[in-house]
Amino acid sequence: MRTLRFFPGEFSDLRIRFNLDKDLPLFKPSFSIAPGKDIPVIVRHGNRNVVKLMRWGLVPSWSQDPSIGNRMINARCETLDQKPSFKQLLASRRCLVPADGFFEWRRVGKGKIPMRVRMKDRRPFTFAGLWDVWRDPDREELYSFTIITTEANKLLRPIHNRCH
């Protein structure tokens, strides 16, 4: 997956559905969100769900270089408990990434065609993810996340071999 569609409707539906104590932060819905962009993500804080803006592309806290996030937009569920980047996050740094659709690129000959995927009833949904916080030498914080993928089901397999 290279781009998300962020829920373009009213955020109150998500606030109620996920028991958020306030609306999403100031964020304009977008019809195409690429990796490297900051988007609202739902995380657990104490005994409540909160929304935090995070960059799409995980930068592990132990990383020396934040550019690693460019390569960590997705995480295979089959190896989450084996990869150092994800293993420690499984227990306490899970998140939900709200969207109303996403695009996958289907190969056709030598080219690719974007295929929009959404729920049949067009309702928003969430992707499962993991998040972390990285600090630069000046102690500035960068919150980032990755989306968990698995093998595609029979509905998505003609478009792509992985699914979110």
DSSP code of residue 111: E
Phi/psi of residue 77, each to 5°?
A: -65, -30
Look at 124 and 63; give whichever has higher pLDDT: 63
Pairing between strand 141-151 and 74-76?
Answer: parallel
Whether 23 shows a pLDDT value over 60: the answer reads yes
Average pLDDT, whole number, for the chain?
Answer: 83
What's the pLDDT score for residue 116? 84
What is the per-residue pLDDT across 50-102, written as a single tens digit (0 to 9) for each? Answer: 888 899 999 999 999 999 999 999 999 899 999 988 989 998 999 999 888 88
Confidence of residue 117 (pLDDT cuts 50, 70, 90): confident
Q: Which domains does the chain have, with CATH numbers?
A: 3-163 (3.90.1680.10)
Q: Tell me the backbone φ, ψ of residue 135, rounded to 5 degrees.
A: -120, 130
Give the pTM: 0.85
Q: What angle do CA 113, 97, 115 make, to 5 degrees?
A: 10
Query: Is the distance from CB of 130 to CB of 146 less than 8 angstroms?
Result: yes
